[in-house]
Amino acid sequence: MMDSKYKLTLGGALLGAFTTAAVPATAQTMDVSVTIPRLTVAEYHKPYVALWIEQAGKPARTINVWYDTGKKNNAGIKWLRDMRQWWRTVGRTTPTPPNGVTGATRAPGAAKISFTAGKGGMPALTAGSYTLVVEAAREGGGREVVKVPFTVSAAGTAKGSGKGSFELGAVSLTVRR
Amino acid sequence: MLNSRKSLLLLAASAALALSTAAQARQWLLPSETMFTGSGNEWLTVDAANSTDLYYYDHPGQPWDAVITAPDGSTVPVENRMVGKLRQVFDVPIAQGGTYKISITNDQMFGSSMLNGEKKMLPRGTTPATLAAAIPAGATEVQTAEANNRIETFVTAGEPTTSVFTSGGKGIEMIPVTHPNDLAVDEEATFQFLLDGKPAADLEVVAIPGGIRYRADLKQISAKTDAEGKVRFTWPEAGMYWVSVSIGGRRGGEGAGGPPPATPPQPEAPERRASYAMTVEVQG
C-alpha cells in the first residue's frame, strides 16, 4: 500500500531503486542441481563431491562438500584431498573438514540443493561473473570437474548449466531473489 | 601426404632425442603422494632410483641416505628403509602440517696429483671430508674439483609452507617462486636456482613427465634460467615431472640438447660439477 502511494509521486528512473530498497529483500538463493550418474560397476562407492564458487581476484568459497561422514573418528576426511582440484584451490587452506558446509555422500540421481546467501559457505553474489565448480571423486573410480560459468545481473539473479561425461551428469544453477 | 611425412619426421626427431638421452641415467625420488589431508597420522612412502625411464627402476640401486626436513625444521628419521638392487624405498610419517623436503645430497671430490713422476687419480668416492687422506704424502700438482649432486622432492600436509626452502650455499639448490606443491596444468610456475648460494644464470633446465616407457615422444620441455637464476615452465599435462639442471662434466645440460663441451674436461684441470633433480606433481 505504501509502495503504490509513493510510486505515484516518484519518477520512473528512481522508482526501481526505491522499491528495491523499500521492499524487505527476500534472501538471495542459489538452487543447484547436480546429477550423479548411475554406473554399473562391480563395486560402487558414492563419490565425494565438492561445490565451490570462484570469482576472479577473490578467494574461492566452498559451499558444499559431500564425504563419508559415517566413518569412525571421522576418518573419511582423509580422502577429501582426492578432490584434488578443490583441495589445491580451497580445501587445504580452510579447516578440514570445512565448517558448516559438509554433508553425507549421495546416491546416483539428481541432487537438488538450495543455498541461501549468508548461510553456511554461501556468499551474497553481487552483479558480476562467477564460476560454480563441481568436482566428484569416486573410490575405485574416476574424478571429474565441471565448471559452470554464470553472470549475476544487477537484480541479483542468474542461470547456468554444464555437463560432465564420466563421474558427473548435468549440473545447473539458478540464482534468484 | 605432406602431413604424414611431417609427422614421420617429427617422430624421427623425437626418437633421436630419446636415444641421445637414454644413455644418461636419471636420479629421482618419487613420492607416493604430494598432498596430504594433514590429519597427523598419515604415511608417505618414497622410491629412490637411478634409471633411464621415468619412473621405472632399471639401474642398480644407490645406497643414498635421504634427509627428511619437516615444516618445523626438524629432521625426521625414515622408517622401513630397504635398499634393493634397483631401487631404495623408505617411509616417512607425516605428523605435522606444512611442507616437507625429502633430499639426497652427495658431495664428491675428483682430480689427480703427481707422485714420483706418476699421475695418481683421486679414488672414486672421495669426499671433501676424506680428501686430505686421499692425497698421497709428498704428492705435487694436486688438482681437484668438487661434484655436488642433489635430488629432492616435496610433499605437503594441509596448507603449503616455505620453511624448508633455505639455501645451504653449496651445489645447486631450488628456491621456489611458485610452490612445488602448487602446480597445475596450463599454469605457469617459476623456480629460482642457486649455485653455491648465488643465482645460477643461463643454465638449461629440463622438465620431463613420467611414463616415458609407453610413449614415443620424450615430451621434454626446457627453459634457460635468467640473470636471477629464475626459470618458468607452463605444464602441458598433469602428472609427475622430473625437473633437472646441471653444470660441468659430460652430464652438462642433462640431455637438454645443448652442444657437448668443445673439449672433454681435462684431468689436469677438472671441471666443477653440480646437478639438481626434483620430482614435482602437476595437478590436472
Q: What chain B residue is nearest to A74 in terms of C-alpha separation?
A: B39
- Cα dihedral: B177, B183, B188, B190 (round 10): 20
* Residue B53 at interface with chain A, using a CB cutoff of 8 Å: no
| Interface probe with B: pick from A48, A86, A88, most Cβ of B within 10 Å | A88
CA atoms of B95 and A6, how far apart (whole Å): 66
What cell does B225 get?
Answer: 634460467
Band of pLDDT at residue B61, cut at 50, 70 and 90: confident
Tell me which chain B residues have a C-beta less than 8 angstroms from the C-beta of A67: none
Between CA B179 and CA B173 the distance in angstroms is 14
Tell me: pLDDT of A9 over 70.
no
DSSP string, A57-111: TS--EEEEEEE-TTSGGGGGGGGGGGSHHHHHHTGGGS-SSPTT-EEE---SEEE
**Could you identify the residue written with the cell 553474489?**
A125
Is 60 exceeded by the pLDDT of residue A166? yes
Pairing of strands A128-137, B188-195: unpaired
Q: How many helices (H) and strands (E) does chain A have?
A: 3, 9
Whether the pLDDT of residue A109 is over 70: the answer is yes
- For residue B122, give how far its alpha carbon lies from the nearest alpha carbon of chain A (Å): 49
Task: State residue A22's pLDDT score.
Answer: 41
What's the mean pLDDT in B140-154? 94
CB contact under 8 A, A88 and B35: yes
Which segment of A15-19, B40-44, B125-129 scores lowest on mean pLDDT?
A15-19
Residue/partner pairs of B55-59 with CB below 8 Å, 24 or more apart: B55/B28, B55/B30, B55/B210, B55/B211, B55/B240, B55/B242, B55/B279, B56/B212, B56/B213, B57/B86, B57/B87, B58/B86, B59/B25, B59/B86
Chain A residues touching residue B159 (CB < 8 angstroms): 92-93
| Yes or no, beta carbons of B283 and A78 under 8 Å apart | no
pLDDT surpassing 60 at residue B135: yes
Q: Which residue of A has its CA nearest to B181?
A: A88
Closest residue in B to A143 (Cα–Cα): B284
Residue with cell 621415468: B54
The CA distance from B159 to the nearest CA of chain A, in Å, is 5
Q: Looking at residues A43-61, what average pLDDT do you find?
A: 96
| Helix (H) or strand (E) segment spanning residue B67 | strand B67-69
Q: Considering chain B, what percentage of its residues have pLDDT values greater than 90? A: 70
Interface test with chain A among B39, B156, B178, B182, by most A beta carbons within 10 Å: B39
Domain spans, chain B: 2-283
Kindly state whether A71 is in contact with chain B, defined as any CB-CB distance less than 8 angstroms. Answer: no
What does the buried/exposed string (b/e) look like for B233-251 if buried means 16 or more CB atoms within 10 Å of the residue's CB?
A: bebeebbbbbbbbbbbbeb
Is A78 within 8 Å of B159 when comparing Cβ atoms?
Answer: no
CB contact under 8 A, B283 and A84: yes
CA distance B109 to B123: 9
How many angstroms separate the CA atoms of A148 and B28, rounded?
39
Q: Is the pLDDT of residue B147 over 70?
A: yes
Using one digit for the tens of pLDDT, what is the confidence trace for B153-164? 999 999 999 999
Q: Which of A94, A73, A12, A72 is nearest to A83 (CA)?
A: A94
Taking CB atoms and an 8 Å cut-off, how many pairs form between chains A and B? 32
Out of A21-30, B132-141, B242-251, which region has the weakest mean confidence (pLDDT)? A21-30
Instruction: Give the pLDDT of residue B10.
Output: 44
pLDDT on residue A12: 39
The model's confidence at residue A6, banded by pLDDT at 50, 70 and 90, is very low
Mean per-residue pLDDT of chain B? 87
Q: Mark yes or no for CB contact B38/A84 under 8 Å.
A: no
Identify which of B79, B90, B97, B99 has the alpha carbon closest to the alpha carbon of residue B40. Answer: B97
Please give, rounded to a whole number of angstroms, the shortest distance from the CA of A140 to a CA of chain B: 17
Asked if B35 lies within 8 A of A93 by C-beta distance, the reply is no
Handedness of CA B251, B252, B253, B256 (dihedral sign): negative
Residue A20, number of CB atoms within 10 A of its CB = 13
Domain positions in chain A are 26-176
CA distance B204 to chain A (A): 29
User: pTM score, two decimals?
Assistant: 0.82
Comparing A52 with A95, which gets the higher pLDDT? A52
Give bridge partners of residue A144 from the DSSP assignment. Answer: A136
What is the average per-residue pLDDT within B81-108? 96
CB contact under 8 A, A77 and B156: no
Q: Which residues of B46-60 are buried (b: 16+ CB within 10 A; e: fewer)?
A: bbbbbbbbbbebebe
Contacts of A85 in chain B (CB under 8 A): 184, 283-284
| pLDDT for res A41 | 92
pLDDT at B268: 56
- Work out the minimum CA distance from B85 to partner chain A, whole angstroms: 32
Question: From CA B15, how far away is CA B212, in angstroms rounded?
Answer: 12
Q: How many residues does chain A have?
A: 177
Lowest mean per-residue pLDDT among A88-97, A123-132, B210-219, B252-261: B252-261
pLDDT at residue number A13: 40
B28 and A CB contact within 8 Å: no
Q: Which parts of B77-179 are beta strand (E)?
A: 79-83, 88-94, 98-115, 118-121, 140-157, 172-176
What mean pLDDT comes out for the span B141-151? 93
Question: What is the distance between the alpha carbons of residues B105 and A118, in angstroms, rounded to a whole number?
Answer: 52
Largest pairwise CA distance in chain B: 71
Across all residues in chain A, what is the average pLDDT?
A: 88
Report the interhelical angle of A12-22 vs A2-9 (nearest 10°). 160
Among B5, B50, B8, B49, which Cα is nearest to B216's?
B8
Q: Is the pLDDT of residue A18 over 50?
A: no
Mean pLDDT of A67-82: 93
- What per-residue confidence (pLDDT) applies to A25? 60
A37 residue type, one letter: P
Q: Is B238 within 8 Å of chain A by CB?
A: no
The Cα A31–Cα A125 span in angstroms is 13
Among the listed residues A121, A89, A83, the one whose alpha carbon sits nearest the alpha carbon of residue A102: A121
pLDDT of residue B250: 53
The verdict on a CB contact (< 8 Å) between B156 and A93 is: no
Supply the pLDDT for residue B264. 52
The identity of residue B266, as a single letter, is: Q
A137 chain-B contacts, CB cut-off 8 A: none
Q: What integer is the mean pLDDT of B36-56?
A: 94
B175–chain A nearest CA distance, Å: 20
pLDDT tens, position by position, B64-91: 999 999 999 999 999 999 999 999 999 9
Q: What are phi and psi of B241, to 5 degrees?
A: -120, 145
pLDDT at position B6: 47
Give the residue from chain A lying closest to B42, CA to CA: A78
- In chain B, the residue whose alpha carbon lies closest to the alpha carbon of A91 is B158
